[in-house]
Structure 1
Amino acid sequence: MAASSSSAPDKCPVDHSSLPPSAKGASDACPVDHTTRSTWDRFLSPDRARRPDTEVSLSSEREVSSIPKPNDSNWVYPSEAQFFAAMARKNHNPQAADMKTIIPIHNAVNERAWGEIMKWERGKGGEACGGVQLVNFKGRPNDRTPKARLNELLGYAAPFDRHDWVVDRCGTRLRYVIDFYTGSASSKGDNISFYLDVRPALDSWEGVKMRLERLLPWS
């Protein structure tokens, strides 16, 4: 089960202990740690103007997500300063000017992923105990899911990232697999498009049952 190897509930993908004081925040986290340069370059215009980082002020404000945690609070997204520091620490050559573009996309990806999970969870009884909560998560960009590998063999594009999210539904732990794909941009080139393939993992009877119900709605 992914729960044994995933981040602890309050562990943030951004290592706050190594951030400058101005970038440190609470020990909350966002579920998706898309801090690799290759991931975010695909969302940025190749001819975007560069400004010296000394001219760019990075915000330390953080947005609270809609994703519940087990301790009756919600996961919190990183600030521009935290995201920049995390990328810099991993030697991904971040540009401060890009943070104002990256952060909204990053947050939207999280919200979209949670929204897709909630579609699966609708009618499963999570409301009886206050709602489904995200317990932990793990980024696995180098681990292709069987479905993603099959799609590649059929000629489809590979996902640019993969995550496993573990949710709690009234005491039942369930792992969800999320493959992240880049979608087609608009003709004007001014809209970011992405596609998320979200589904319960097949490592539990509950996950298998939910997948069968989606495939065979009369079952």
Structure 2
Amino acid sequence: MGQTTSSPTHTANSSSSASCPVDHSAFAKHPPTPLTVPPSCPVDHTSIETRVRSSTAASGCPVDHASFSKSSSSEALDPRNHLPVLTQERVPTQTIDLPTERTASSIPRDAAGNWEYPSPQQFYNALVRKGWETPEGEIETMVQIHNFLNEKAWEEVHKWETQVNKDEKFQLVSLKGRPGELSPKARFWLVVGWLLPDRFNNEPPFDRHDWIVRRPSTGEQVRYVIDYYGAPPLPDGSPVFSLDVRPALDSFGSISMRIRAATRTAWENVAQDARHG
């Protein structure tokens, strides 16, 4: 279950405090529903997307959860997102001021409130810490894209969860970035893409996240896997991303959800073929 969509400043398909909570459902050369930037936007998204994809192809989300989790043992990590506290201090080499205000997401963290996104200054500090060279003037746009992808990923999780209980007020209790670790599904489709490159996408996801969702009414926790894919830009140069969001196959309930979704999709395809036959 996934989708591709467009942000006020970018595109993504459906995958917190300083965290990056990005359908590859058809796995064709071009993903199903693209997330794109309006052509009137003055920001050069193509150049940003090129840098993001070239870097994330090897390293994942700009907020590098994996490398942070390997930080010095003296540095306390938040177990909810495996990140240290990201400073709001200006980098010594920084030439412009970046906003330090943080935006609240629509993603519930617990009964007390929602996750917050990193401020542009925190986001920039994370990039600098990782060694990425990113124009400071583009940071605010990158944060908007980052937040947009989070929201779209949560929408996909919401679609899955409401199949179980549409009235449940489920929460994202923790998340972890796993760049460089291919999920079994991503690995399968990568092999298919290598074997049939004319029919299927043969690019690996540029990032992967695991989200743990809690159902407060029962206390059950469900792990979701999010694979983030890049896609060919639109003719106007607007970048496109694709998200594959689904419950991990590590419990009977999640397996049942995946089987029901696959069965429903198969019947919908049969019905569509019959209408056009």
Match for residue 184 of structure 1 among 197, 215, 232: 232
Is residue 14–residue 83 contact of structure 1 (8 Å, CA) maintained in 2?
Answer: no
* Alignment deviations for residues 48-100 of structure 1 (CA, whole Å, 9 cap, x no partner): xxxx951x321111111000012420000001100001111122233312202
Change (3 A) 1:202 1:69: same
Give the distance between the partners of 1:206 and 1:166, measured in 2 at CA.
14
Give the distance between the partners of 1:206 and 1:22, measured in 2 at CA.
46
Match for residue 157 of structure 1 among 203, 212, 234: 203
Query: In the alignment, what sits opposite 1:48?
Result: none
SS in 2 for 1:69: strand
How far 1:12 moved relative to its partner? 6.7
Runs of at least 5 residues in structure 2 that lack an aligned partner in the other structure: 1-68, 70-76, 194-201, 268-277
Is residue 7–residue 137 contact of structure 1 (8 Å, CA) maintained in 2?
Answer: no
Q: Which amino acid aligns with 2:241?
A: F
Query: In the alignment, what sits opposite 1:99?
Result: 139
Give the distance between the partners of 2:150 and 2:233, measured in 1 at CA.
19
Query: In the alignment, what sits opposite 1:13?
Result: 83
Would you say 1:198 and 2:225 are equivalent positions? no
Would you say 1:86 and 2:126 are equivalent positions? yes
Give the distance between the partners of 1:107 and 1:213, measured in 2 at CA.
30
Give the distance between the partners of 1:75 and 1:53, measured in 2 at CA.
27
Is residue 138–residue 163 contact of structure 1 (8 Å, CA) maintained in 2?
Answer: yes
Match for residue 207 of structure 1 among 243, 254, 267: 254
Q: TM-score, normalised by structure 1?
A: 0.74
RMSD across aligned C-alpha pairs, in angstroms? 2.4
Q: Which amino acid aligns with 1:8?
A: P
Give the distance between the partners of 1:83 and 1:140, measured in 2 at CA.
18
Runs of at least 5 residues in structure 1 that lack an aligned partner in the other structure: 24-51
Change (3 A) 1:62 1:14: farther
Is residue 22–residue 60 contact of structure 1 (8 Å, CA) maintained in 2?
Answer: no
User: Paired residues, what number?
Assistant: 179
SS in 1 for 2:137: helix
SS in 1 for 2:139: helix
Change (3 A) 1:120 1:101: same
Query: In the alignment, what sits opposite 1:29?
Result: none
Change (3 A) 1:203 1:210: same
Q: Which amino acid aligns with 2:226?
A: I
Match for residue 221 of structure 2 among 173, 184, 203: 173
* Alignment deviations for residues 95-123 of structure 1 (CA, whole Å, 9 cap, x no partner): 31220221111001100100000111113
Give the distance between the partners of 2:239 and 2:97, measured in 1 at CA.
24
SS in 1 for 2:100: coil
How far 1:14 moved relative to its partner? 5.6
SS in 2 for 1:179: strand
Q: Which amino acid aligns with 1:63?
A: T
